[in-house]
Amino acid sequence: AQKITQTQPGMFVQEKEAVTLDCTYDTSDPSYGLFWYKQPSSGEMIFLIYQGSYDQQNATEGRYSLNFQKARKSANLVISASQLGDSAMYFCAMREVWSNTGKLIFGQGTTLQVKP
Amino acid sequence: ETGVTQTPRHLVMGMTNKKSLKCEQHLGHNAMYWYKQSAKKPLELMFVYNFKEQTENNSVPSRFSPECPNSSHLFLHLHTLQPEDSALYLCASSQEVRTGGFGANVLTFGAGSRLTVL
């Protein structure tokens, strides 16, 4: 069965520094997608970055990059040059490509606070 | 209107009330989802509709009744709820294929409906 684990309930980072948010996953499907979403206090889930299980290179989107280690089943999010607006809850999620239900499951989330 | 719109944004109801949450997407997507987000718990998938057909019911109690009249609209009908049903209910949509697997497509979420059951 699919499972996503985020072991850091809360993280602090100084403004302009980089921070890594951890995510490990478990699946028996060889084809899957990994996602990171940001949820500010307003509640909306904002898509940040995607990594496919067959992608050879780590995904990058602006200040976001995904450190994908397939053998370890980890997909850590790296945010470079943190900004105050990055303070939010961050969720790692996974979707099995050949699932017959389209289920996207989420980890418990990590609260990130950026200090000025 | 663009993206995924959820109404109402806030709802307070008694345990004997009947209410509905509405979700509308303006993205041309064909799959829609309801998620429940309770305090200190991961997001829980409730229902999935793909091309108006329900493909997932994640053991949701019958006091929650989904309705998907077309690919752009999704409702969650609520009746005789319990206080523990108080949560943020998030709707999402994505572009999927009808057969052959769901692909790794991005879900676009609405801002959520915050429900309080007294």
Encode pLDDT of A67-84 as tens digits: 999 999 999 999 999 999
Per residue in B83-100, pLDDT (tens digit) is 999 999 999 999 876 555
Q: What is the pLDDT of residue B99?
A: 57
Judge whether B28 and B94 are in contact, CB under 8 Å. no
Show Cβ contacts of residue A88 under 8 Å, excluding neighbours closer than 6 positions: A38, A39, A40, A41, A111, A112
* Whether the predicted pLDDT of B3 surpasses 90: yes
What residues in B contact A100, CB-CB < 8 Å?
Answer: 55, 102
Query: What is the average pLDDT across B48-70?
Result: 90
The conformation of residue A50, written as its DSSP 8-state character, comes to E
Per the listing, tokens 């997001």 go with: B43
Show Cβ contacts of residue A108 under 8 Å, excluding neighbours closer than 6 positions: A5, A6, A9, B41, B42
With cut-offs at 50, 70 and 90, classify the pLDDT of residue B106. Answer: confident
B112 touches chain A (CB under 8 A): yes
Q: What is the pLDDT of residue B53?
A: 86
Judge whether A37 and A75 are in contact, CB under 8 Å. no
Q: What is the pLDDT of residue B47?
A: 93
Q: What percent of chain B has pLDDT over 70?
A: 92
**Strand A74-79 to strand A64-69: parallel, antiparallel, or no bridges (unpaired)?**
antiparallel
Residues 10-49 of B with CB under 8 A from A: 31, 33, 41-43, 45, 48
The ranges of chain A with pLDDT < 50 are none
